[in-house]
Amino acid sequence: MGFEGRSVEGLVMGNFWESKRVYVTGATGLVGTWLVKYLVESGARVVALIRDRDPQSELFRSGLEGRIAVVNGALESYYDLERGLVEHEIDTVFHLAAQTIVGTAYRSPLATFEANVRGTYNLLEACRVQSHTVKRVVIASSDKAYGSADKLPYDETMPPAGRFPYDVSKSCADLISQSYFHTYDLPVVVARCGNIYGGGDLNWSRIVPGTIRSLHRGEAPIIRSDGTYTRDYVYVEDAVSAYVAMAEALHKPGVAGEAFNFGPAQPYRVREIVDALRRLMNREDLEPEVLSVAKAEIRDQFLDSAKAQRVLAWKPKFTLEQGLAESIEWYRGYFARFE
């Protein structure tokens, strides 16, 4: 099924977003594209900060770019970020842009810190300066912000404590975000999601798109770790519903200044994800190649999402099998364009 034909599951197209002026960083990424689609269909006036034009991004492939305003700029530039807020009189900000690949952070920590840490405080400072128009700020963090923990699942009472470069960058972004709330009363909220997957993710080093591509080609899928690492896997439409739920509830008590976990309440081993994809794609004949070379990665991570369910009435709509099936369908359509 093509991206342009999908509505976001579990989200009612109400009038909350009608004529809202929404700034989205990371709009060319996996979640950003799905979020932009939902916002546009809900009547919002969307402005996207885009550093590089990537014609492979679904934002461009689906034609969404033609339905939004674009600010060309980088997270590392305060003035680029503020220009978008000022010129478009933004009232809502979704900060999704980041360097998101753990392996890239391991190889290039400086660029990761610049994008993820400097980018976050640049944006928050711009929002503080323009707080007469900015009424809600949603920061996309990650379960990686917690770092390794002896006790699982993570809950929001546990402090950010990353050790590896990517994890530390997310821990810092979380703390900076909460500092802007506690110091300046900026209406900010932080989302900590598990591993997000779904159609539109072209980072082939990630386990879901990489495995689907290998199986589609008739090749053995690659597992960089030993296959036993456990993670939460959140389908992209559930992630979008989480971000939207936070933004719509930011005016309510107990939301601003808080962090919320979003996960399916069922962690899976990497090998289980690969095996599920092999089964769904009828390629159980292709045994995965286990490399056991993963570096700077936390072995076990999964989240307690009870707070999100209690405060935001959020829960995932997709089971793992449903989310993987939707993803497979999207990628088959994507690969068909090149065959």
Asked whether the beta carbons of 119 and 169 are under 8 A apart, the reply is no
> Is position 79 annotated as part of the catalytic site?
no
If 0-12 CB within 10 Å is exposed, 13-18 middle and 19+ buried, where does residue 293 land?
exposed
Would you say 62 and 40 are in contact if contact means Cβ atoms under 8 Å apart? no
> Exactly one of 146, 166, 331, 334 is catalytic; which is it?
166
Please enumerate in sequence order all residues whose Cβ is within 8 A of that of 129, keeping only pairs 6 or more positions apart, or say none: 82
DSSP codes joined into one string, 64-115? GGGGSEEEE--TT-HHHHHHHHHHTT-SEEEE--S---HHHHHH-HHHHHII
Report residue 141 as tokens: 């963090």
Q: Which one, of 263, 277, 283, lies nearest residue 325 by Cα? A: 277
Active site residues: 166
